[in-house]
Amino acid sequence: MLARLFNNLTVQSLTSSLLVSYLLAGIAVFMRTYEPATLVLPGWSFTVSPTVFQWAAMICLPLYSVWFNSILIRFGFLKGHHHLIPIFTILLLLFGCHENQPAALAAIPLLILIIRQTLRMINAGAEVLQLVFNIGFLIGVVSIFFPPGLILTLVCWVAVVFFGHFSVRTIIIPIMGMASFYFLVYSAYFFFTDFPFPAELWSLLTQFSLNTWNGELHKTWPYLFLLISVLISLIEYVKALNYAKIQKRQFLNFNAAFLVLGIIAFAAFQSPWAGGVIIALPISVFLSNLVQYVSRWWLRDLIYLSLLLTLLLMVF
């Protein structure tokens, strides 16, 4: 039944997907107990109350999903539906907002913007150098309060390979873009504050540690329902490689590499940030692609059911 609500590009479908997303976000954030959290910037920290985070998450997450959905439709990678809006909202709740994580919530629009710039490389000519510089600059911006975003440097390099722009310059220029942002921030800190920016940034980065998973694996069992759907979506991805157009194949291959890099990074390392929110991006694409091409309606509804069960188990 849910799948039928979002199965076209009409205003009614968009409205339904947005209302359902707001309903799910409201239930998920207000039925769960949050603790106060701190948003840390180099040299500064801000306490974010549970109430502020709950309202911000409920208002922003569906809007982020609408934006990401519109980007993929504009590039032609999703056609004829708004399934991604509720799917992405649920995944953001699962991976980034099941706890008070203000840094992850603030980072999501920057992550989407980075992916938008990355997808523009598919049809880019000479402007690809400007795009990879912009991507590096944006990665620098997000890294000063959400260091897991640094993984997108590898994602950018993967993109230049899959989209046919690999060269020494496209590998180096993202680092130059990141360095340009750090130089601007370093200059601002040097002239206007008493904080040593390099030391403050390093103190943030050293909060990463190897993930031993001691006593944590039992907490991941609710994700089993989601895992089943993701595995099925990967099977559909392999099938799509046989009939999809060249650009769609490039995008799907990039998305698969994005997912693998994200899983490796966030399974191997732990941090005080909800870095797993990054893998919500590629997972939402694969699940939306699966819903688009599965022929039986009851199978589409089962995908939504797996997401809802995972969300309910995480909330309660």
What is the tens place of the pLDDT at every residue in 122-164?
888 778 999 999 999 999 999 999 988 999 999 999 999 999 8
pLDDT digits (tens, 9 = 90+) for 229-272: 899 899 888 888 888 788 888 899 999 999 998 888 887 777 77
Q: How high is the pLDDT of residue 85?
A: 92
| Claim: this prediction has a pTM higher than 0.95 | no
Which distant-in-sequence residues (6+ apart) come within 8 Å of 243 by Cβ? none
Q: Residue 189: pLDDT above 60?
A: yes
pLDDT value at residue 82:
86
- Residue 180 or residue 97, greater confidence: 180
Tell me the pLDDT tens digit for each residue of 20-36. 999 999 999 998 888 99
Q: What is the model's pLDDT at position 225?
A: 86
Angstrom distances, CA of residue 276 to CA of 16, 124, 127: 27, 29, 31
In the chain, pLDDT over 90 holds for what percent of residues? 43
Residue 210 has pLDDT above 80, yes or no: no
State the pLDDT at residue 243: 80
pLDDT at 179 over 90: yes
The pLDDT-based confidence of 188 (bands split at 50, 70, 90) is very high
Residue 277 is classified by DSSP as G
Q: Indicate whether 222 pLDDT > 80.
A: no
The span from the CA of 139 to the CA of 137, in Å, is 5
Residue 314's pLDDT band (cuts 50, 70, 90): confident
| pLDDT score, position 1 | 61
Q: Is the pLDDT of residue 201 over 80?
A: yes
Asked if the model's pLDDT at residue 2 lies above 70, the reply is no
Give the pLDDT of residue 76.
Answer: 84
pLDDT on residue 116: 94
What is the model's pLDDT at position 6? 74
65 to each of 29, 87, 97, 203, 241, how far by Cα in Å? 16, 8, 14, 32, 26
CA of 95: how far to CAs of 40, 74, 115, 228, in Å?
20, 26, 18, 17
| pLDDT, the chain, mean | 87
In this prediction, residue 66 carries a pLDDT of 94
